[in-house]
Chains A and B, each alone.
Chain A
């Protein structure tokens, strides 16, 4: 497992999170800004990977934090060391809501032409712009996985959640989740195998 680079937000220890969230809940603007800086990129990366549209991902990310702020400042959230699971559950639910909304509005004759939250061609071009070719291939391979496998990969590697947090969020036994993750990696390896052979 690669170490996160120093310019990335580092997942904090539980004590740090507790005091930070307590201050944010009390309306401390600085603490709230820190919450946004710390978790914003992780939420955005997860949402962006699930909906492919950068503009929509920004909107959903903002609405997730508005929800979080509403709950926290109104005393509806009590910190018990599960903030991240809760935050990303809210994010996943918001993505699913959006997918359902888009599906309802989709043209019935050609549902396969538009994934529930597919981005525009401009989005795709922007996403591909400047990406390392290896990463671009990896991203394509992940996109070719079934939605359940994609979900685990995104939660693990984009949102930086632990396996326990993912199991909690998806309401699955830890063992089942680990096995699913292992199978997803296996499928990815199989998809990327020709590249590996080319290099050798």
Chain B
């Protein structure tokens, strides 16, 4: 009998029992022959639908996994956002605005809690000169609604 993976084995367990092993092989052959001849046909019918489903390519599988991961991350983000909104916590302020507000307070330019958020051009210039701005003056000031409708500093 051709059992291709047999060699090499450390010992031959069938040594001295060749006749018995041979009889067992005959018994095995008999048992294999007992399989109903239509069993492969019936099995084929059961597996037919599976065969017509093409196997996904590895790349496609990888993209599917990525898509799944992205979907999960998106859902998680939405969930966090909903929780934040429901908890009533204020939306985080704009970083540029926060810096400028802090700068204005440091410079004692703002009038405490009554300050209505509108700075005139003079204050803006002072802020621009402060080292706390990141150099993109137009953007920072725009965020703080420092420009008038004319848009000129």
Chain A residues packing against B (C-beta within 8 Å)? 1-5, 8-11, 13-14, 25-29, 32-33, 36-37, 40-42, 44-45, 48-49, 54, 58, 61-62, 65-66, 69-70, 72-75, 127, 131-132, 134-135, 138-139, 142, 153, 156-165, 174-175, 178-179, 181-182, 185-186, 188-189, 192
Given A1-B1, A1-B22, A163-B9, A44:B39 Cβ within 8 A: yes
B92, CB-defined interface residue at 8 Å? no
Which of B10, B27, B28 interacts with A178 by CB under 8 Å? B10
Nearest CB on A from B69, distance (A) = 19
Given A27-B53, A192-B20, A185:B47 Cβ within 8 A: no
Given A2-B1, A48-B31, A73-B53, A157:B24 Cβ within 8 A: yes
How far apart are the CA atoms of A189 and B20 in the complex, in Å? 7
Whether B32 contacts A32 by the Cβ 8 Å rule is: no
Closest to A75 in B: B55
Chain B residues packing against A (C-beta within 8 Å)? 1-6, 9-11, 13-14, 17-18, 20-36, 39-40, 42-44, 46-48, 50-56, 58, 61
Which of B2, B55, B61 interacts with A10 by CB under 8 Å? B2
How far apart are the CA atoms of A2 and B24 in the complex, in Å? 9
Nearest CB on A from B23, distance (A) = 6
Which of B17, B21, B31, B36 interacts with A45 by CB under 8 Å? B31
Inter-chain contact total with CB atoms closer than 8 Å: 173
How far apart are the CA atoms of A140 and B20 in the complex, in Å? 14
Q: List the A side residues contacting B21 at CB < 8 Å.
A: 1, 157, 185
Nearest CB on B from A73, distance (A) = 5
Which of B13, B17, B44, B50 has the most C-beta atoms of chain A within 10 angstroms of its own C-beta? Answer: B13
Closest to B6 in A: A162
How far apart are the CA atoms of A10 and B43 in the complex, in Å? 20
Q: List the B side residues contacting A189 at CB < 8 Å.
A: 17, 20
Whether B42 contacts A62 by the Cβ 8 Å rule is: yes
Q: What are 30 sample pairs from A and B whose C-beta atoms fall under 8 A apart?
A: A2-B26, A4-B25, A26-B54, A26-B55, A27-B53, A27-B55, A41-B35, A44-B32, A44-B34, A61-B39, A61-B43, A62-B42, A65-B47, A69-B50, A73-B53, A73-B55, A74-B56, A75-B55, A75-B61, A138-B23, A157-B21, A157-B27, A158-B28, A158-B32, A160-B1, A161-B3, A162-B3, A163-B13, A165-B5, A185-B20
Whether A4 contacts B2 by the Cβ 8 Å rule is: yes
How far apart are the CA atoms of A80 and B150 in the complex, in Å? 73
How far apart are the CA atoms of A127 and B52 in the complex, in Å? 37
Whether B40 contacts A37 by the Cβ 8 Å rule is: yes
Whether A174 contacts B26 by the Cβ 8 Å rule is: no
How far apart are the CA atoms of A27 and B51 in the complex, in Å? 4
Which of A1, A158, A174 has the most C-beta atoms of chain B within 10 angstroms of its own C-beta? Answer: A1
Whether B26 contacts A135 by the Cβ 8 Å rule is: yes
